[in-house]
Amino acid sequence: METVSYKELLSIVAIVLTFLATAPYIYSILKGATKPHVFSWVIWGTTTFVVFLAQLNNKGGAGAWPIGVSGILTIFIAILAFAKRGDVTIAKTDWVFLVTALSSLPLWYFTSDPLWAVVILTTVDVLGFGPTIRKAYHQPTSEPLHFYALFAIRNLLVVMALEHHSLTTVLFPAVLGLTCVFIMVLMTYRRLAIVVVSQGEQ
């Protein structure tokens, strides 16, 4: 009987955190309380799953599993959002993001190197956080801190669980983890600022 390795255990914990973070969101969609932007989730699902394939190609091993699960869940949310008739409006920037993300595949094919594909996909994913960061600044209480905390921890575990550390395998989870931390710090700072201003007005 084979024992679960340390890295496999970290990967399993990261997968559990992925489910814990996304389950309430999926439940909210099913209830009709949340109507996600379908096209955004299609883009995020595409980028995440292709990064998963790139990590496997670069011998990421067990550390790639949570990214694969996250990609599948993201695509599922996109399908669910469409079925529940979420926001289906498509802006020009949405098409730019999707085309840029898809351009990573022929680049990977012709260069035989998944690194540049991961660089493109990571950039697209981070740019996709633009509206969320803007919202977190102006409406710091509208986003749950624990959601980003779970994903920050998840991405740290992913990096630790990787069986081969290279820019190709580490870049995506590391950058997304840092982005989650940045959003948490921004929301905390803005919440404190709002409290200070409101107390000053009393």
Mean pLDDT of the 138-150 span: 85
| pTM of the full structure | 0.87
What pLDDT, on a 0 to 100 scale, did the predictor assign at position 94?
Answer: 80
For residue 75, the enclosing domain spans 6-201
Question: Tens of pLDDT along 33-58?
Answer: 878 778 888 888 889 999 999 999 99
Query: Would residue 138 count as lying in a domain?
Result: yes
Query: Would residue 122 count as lying in a domain?
Result: yes
Query: Nearest-CA neighbor of 172 among 81, 53, 75, 76?
Result: 53
Query: Would residue 117 count as lying in a domain?
Result: yes
DSSP H helices, the chain, are 6-31, 38-57, 65-83, 92-111, 114-127, 130-138, 145-161, 167-201
**Residue 2 predicted with pLDDT over 60:** no
Query: Would residue 101 count as lying in a domain?
Result: yes
Query: Would residue 21 count as lying in a domain?
Result: yes
Query: Would residue 94 count as lying in a domain?
Result: yes
Query: Would residue 1 count as lying in a domain?
Result: no
d(CA 46, CA 117) in angstroms, rounded, equals: 12
d(CA 102, CA 80) in angstroms, rounded, equals: 22
Q: Total structural domains in the chain?
A: 1
Question: Tens of pLDDT along 58-73?
Answer: 999 999 999 999 999 9
**Residue 3 predicted with pLDDT over 80:** no
